[in-house]
Structure 1
Amino acid sequence: MLPRSPASPHLRRLRWARGFSATSSPSPSASTVEGKIVASVVFERLPVVIPKINPVVYAFQEFSFRWRQQYRRKYPDDVLGKAEARGKGDYQIDYVPAPRITEADKINDRKSLQRALDNKLYLLLFGKTLGAPDGKPVWHFPEKVYENEDTLRLCAESALKSVFGGLDNTYFVGNAPMAHMVAEQTEDASVSSFKRFFFKSQVIGTTKLDIRKCEDHVWVTKDELLEYFPEHKALFDNMIIHIR
């Protein structure tokens, strides 16, 4: 987790957790002996519009189309005339595509969900959290320290409930964590080593969310995440699949 300044606790080890049992959960004794366990939620908004085609892909599609045109079957003109006349009427629909660039993009309003419509966005909160140096506010994903919940998934749900007051516009993808990392104690950290388990959740059915219990928040793309967590590039490259 990073504060607004470049200083942050160093993560010496990264471990990946795949295929956890949906019913398994850490026990209180394990939490006491090996350090605290944290459920963190990677809360994302999926793309709203189709991403732009990569120039290389577009060039290949253009080449393929022109190549197929050389060998296409040519139909008689009278057949083509009948096909073109079919379905015509007195009505006409003018289609105007929605703009890709919004007002939030123009002013770089990272608090708005109406930005980067062709990309995924991830929610970051600014406030106090476990492992922050000297207990100062830092940027982090929504998270909660595991206490006595039946499963770690329920702990992750509680973390998101504390931010929005409910789970009406959220969807958790699976019951198991998508990854986990081990943070070891450093000189400037206020707690001993602990494990942070990441769960994926998505925004559904809304374009605006009421975010509470934090000093600040932003919605950022994967590339913009590195501005807040520059030392975690390897983590995000493995945990978050980029759509481009």
Structure 2
Amino acid sequence: MKTCCPSCHQTMAVEKFKHRMQGEIELDLCFNCQAIWFDNFESVQLAPGGIIELFRLIHAHRDEPRQALSEVLNCPRCNEKLLHGMDIAKGGRFNYHRCLQQHGRFTTFAQFMIEKGFVRQLHEAELDTLKAQIGSIRCNGCGAAIDIKQDHACPHCKAPITILDTGAVEKALATYQQVEAQRSVRDVELLGDAIILREKQRALYERQSRAERYNESAEIGDLVADGIDLVCSLLSD
């Protein structure tokens, strides 16, 4: 299904990322507005590996020109006006625009990176240093200009002033990579348990069949074949 950007109304790019359960999840991205449309619950369905993949994609498009978000943002599913909202994560406060009909939410790349711990808010001392060197900056939330000598947050979308911190990036990447590795090992272990259980069920069935038909030879179990068969059945679900 084609998704139009809630801000610029251009067709959003569809990218696939790892799902936290199995398979992949498709996300809609607008590189002109540097934002993501998450259908309902998609943001929490990303696997740690998927978050890393998305971070790398955002990084790859970091130098592309960005336009400010429109004053009015509309849901790409029902066309109703999106409501501005805020939440708190480990990286600090982040904002987004959500559909009141629960179709999803629209989040800029920078706000997504705050949510996932790649970006942090500036401390008071860092803000004071920045004020002495720079008069205004562009908001990572909506793209509007912020006069940092007067405002500590965007006057339009209320997004705090943030910075991409290399330490925060390294810490977040290490955490997601560790969780992804543990998740992959756990998936393999669960698959192995399922194959063994299936083989036990096959052996039980064969014993019952031999008891009923003593002269008929039984099949020999094949763990590899069973594993391939089970993986295919899981992928097709």
What's the TM-score once normalised by structure 1's chain length?
A: 0.20
Between Structure 1 and Structure 2, which shows a larger proportion of helix residues?
2
Identify which of structures 1 and 2 has the higher relative contact order when contacts are C-alpha pairs closer than 8 Å and 6+ apart: 1
